[in-house]
């Protein structure tokens, strides 16, 4: 994929933002309210949604992969990579599919993405633990993803409104 300097810069900025959002998430420990390992708001998904519409699937995937790798490197925990990769890529594929359906709003795409992200993570847990026990969490996680998906959808919608009149994305 050949990127213009502007696109490359934008990708870098968005990757940085996604990483920052992942970090920011630690200050909203959702696991305190719902005691399930690995449960979180999924704020970094905002960047994925945004990139998907603003830059297209290719660059969105690029940002996602960079975010997963860098996140694991920063956390010093390569084991976490399979979780974030499997979750992230599943979410990405589902959102690419859903975003093709022009009838859906950013909310629907977000909710679908959040649900897919959780499915991916549970799959990763089942794979790494070699045990089907994590499946028990899936129904709850799916229920929660309705809320987290709606929340990221709302924030993404605000973002698109705010940026709609800038020429940031043009060209």
Partner 1 sequence: MRGTVYYMKRFAGLILAAAMLCGLCGCGGAPADPDKAQESIQVIAMDTVMIFSVYGEKSTHAAYAAEDEMRRLEDLLSRTDEESQIFALNSAGGQPVTVDSEVSRLLNTSGMYSDVTGGAFDITIAPVVSAWGFTTDSYQVPARADLEELLTHVGMEHVHQSGDSVRLDQGTQIDLGGIAKGYASDRVAQIFAENNIPRATAALGGNVLAWGDRPDETPWRVGIQDPKVPDDRNTLACLLHLTDAFAVTSGGYQRYFEEDGKTYQHIIDPATGYPADSGLTSVTVVADCDRESLDGLPGAGTMCDALSTALYVMGEDEALDFWRNCGLDIDLVLVTADDRVVVTAGLADAYEAIEGSGYTYEVVS
Partner 2 sequence: MKSSPKLRPCGWDALVVLLVLLLAVGCGAAVWGGNEATHDLTAVISVDGETAETVALSSLSGPEERTLTANGYTLHLVLSPEEVYMEAADCPTQDCVHTGHISRSGQSIVCLPARVIVRLEGGQKDESAPDVVIG
Query: Site residues (CB under 8 A) for partner 1?
Result: 34, 107, 136, 139-140, 142-144, 146-147, 150
CB 38 within 8 A of CB 83: yes
Residues 6+ apart with CB under 8 A from 6: 171
Q: Choose, by CB under 8 A, the member of 22, 90, 99, 152 that binds partner 2.
A: 99
Look up residue 76 and give its two tokens.
């010093």
Q: Which residues are within 8 A (CB) of 76 and not within 5 positions of it... i.e. 6 or more apart?
A: none
With CB under 5 to 8 Å by kind, the binding choice for 147 among partner 2, partner 1, none is partner 1
Contact window for partner 2 (CB under 8 A) among 7-15, 33-41, 53-61, 69-77: 53-61
Q: What is the dihedral of CA 53, 54, 58, 62, to 10 degrees?
A: -110
Q: Do the beta carbons of residue 171 and residue 6 sit within 8 Å?
A: yes
Tokens of 168: 């940031």
How many whole angstroms separate alpha carbon 42 and alpha carbon 24? 10
Q: Indicate the residue among 82 and 115 with the shorter CB distance to partner 2.
A: 115
Is 151 a binding residue for partner 2 by CB under 8 A? The answer is: no
Compute the least distance from the CB of residue 27 to partner 2, in Å. 27
How is residue 40 written in tokens?
């979180």
The item of partner 1, partner 2, none sharing an interface with residue 103, based on CB under 5 to 8 Å by kind, is partner 2
Q: Which does 164 bind (CB under 5 to 8 A by kind): partner 1, partner 2, none?
A: partner 2
For the bound state, the minimum distance from the C-beta of residue 40 to partner 2, rounded and expressed in Å, comes to: 17
Q: In the 8-state DSSP scheme, what is residue 89?
A: H
* Dist. CA 150–CA 49, nearest whole Å: 12
Q: Which does residue 34 touch among partner 1, partner 2, none (CB within 5 to 8 A, set by kind)?
A: partner 1
Contact residues toward partner 2 (CB under 8 A) are 53-56, 98-99, 101, 103-109, 111-112, 115, 129-133, 135-136, 138-139, 142-143, 145-146, 149, 153, 157, 160-161, 163-164, 169-170
């Amino acid at each position: 994929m050949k990127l213009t300097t502007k696109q490359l810069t934008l990708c870098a900025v968005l990757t940085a933002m996604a990483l920052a959002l992942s970090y920011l998430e630690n200050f909203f420990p959702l696991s305190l309210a719902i005691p399930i390992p690995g449960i979180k708001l999924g704020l970094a998904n905002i960047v994925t949604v945004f990139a998907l519409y603003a830059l297209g699937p290719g660059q969105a995937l690029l940002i996602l992969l960079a975010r997963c790798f860098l996140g694991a490197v920063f956390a010093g925990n390569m084991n976490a990579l399979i979780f974030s990769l499997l979750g992230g890529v599943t979410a990405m594929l589902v959102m690419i599919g859903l975003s093709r359906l022009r009838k859906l709003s950013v909310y629907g795409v977000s909710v679908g993405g959040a649900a897919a992200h959780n499915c991916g993570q549970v799959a990763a847990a089942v794979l790494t633990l070699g045990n089907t026990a994590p499946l028990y969490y899936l129904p709850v996680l799916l229920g929660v993803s309705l809320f987290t998906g709606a929340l990221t959808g709302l924030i993404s919608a605000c973002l698109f409104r705010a940026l709609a009149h800038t020429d940031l994305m043009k060209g």
